Chain A
């Protein structure tokens, strides 16, 4: 029982203090590993890799993975499932509570001039931050480097450019095709990735 409470509590803390998206939980997961010895740094590297390569928010994936693995090692697969669920609930609970409170506040002050003025600035910031995240995915996905600081090591892989150009044309300019669901483009790209072995640099 104490194991489940501890899992819940550790992830509750990570959910409360990790600000700015899923990858912000990684330092907390390292801390948990050091403190409890539930898993090693190598295990964590694998868990991050799996979380990135499966659907779903990365932070949530990592919580489920760590919770399942830890409980399963100590008590078997059935309890592993319970551990995964409790860790995930722990991770999301603080943000659900906080967002419900903020949403109540926003609703109350929807017509307030100051709130609207702040939102006018916030939206520009929001789009800028999303653009910046988009640029960093371009560096990882198309140039094979982790950030703009490593541009000297960038590899130009023409397959990535061709695929990007193809999707851009299809999603912006081809009538009917551009209205197709985004998941179809994602699935097609996965197939193209497999056919052309895109994870292996040229």
Chain B
């Protein structure tokens, strides 16, 4: 039952993610690229790039893309339902039962440790992707330019994605002579 499998896999990813869509990347690589082999590393990069310039939560976009790729529109919906399912359960329980959850000392301490770990895991994940995306001089220049623009100048990610797509078209899109 592929729909159930998609739901469960993405529920697993949802429960293991602390932070935004980026924190999910190492888990996604492990669960759906390496273990299930549902999509390739390059597919995930495409999903993230598209997720940057479409509405909504990136984690949800990636789930919808992967689910649809494996089992059509219904697959996309099942994967998405899976990725939000743990949030609904956990947040409802906390909202109903625990007052001031985020101010509990142990929660803050645990989170401080988790953040450091997520940094390193994202670094490893990025390194893997980097080798597949930065393949020549053009992509190296694009990579460095966009990194600098977004770290130091807070450039709009949508603008960066549009420029990169245009640059790709200019370099690779021309008809062969």
Contacts and interface: CB of A to CB of B under 8 A. Distances in A.
B88 A53 contact: no
Nearest to A77: B96
Contact of A55 (B17, B30, B73): B17
Contacts of B171: 117, 120-121
B116 A164 contact: yes
Given A65-B91, A68-B95, A95-B54, A58 B68 contact: no
B177 interface: no
Interface of B: 14-27, 30, 42, 45-46, 48-61, 64-65, 68-69, 73, 76-77, 80, 83-84, 86-88, 90-92, 94-96, 100-103, 105-126, 129-130, 132-134, 139-140, 142-147, 150-152, 157-158, 160-161, 163-169, 171-173
A136 B145 CA distance: 17
Interface in A30-53: 46, 49-53
B119 A142 contact: yes
Interface of A: 15-23, 25, 46, 49-61, 64-65, 68-69, 72, 77, 80-81, 84-85, 88, 91-92, 94-96, 98-100, 102-103, 106, 113-114, 116-138, 140-142, 148, 160, 163-164, 167-168, 171-172, 181-183, 185-186, 188-194, 196-200
A131 B19 contact: no
B116 A128 contact: no
A94 B80 CA distance: 12
B71 to A, nearest CB: 12
Contacts of B105: 197, 199
Contacts of A25: 57
Contact of B88 (A88, A133, A185): A88
A6 B18 CA distance: 29
A130 B56 contact: no
A58 B20 contact: yes
A159 B56 CA distance: 36
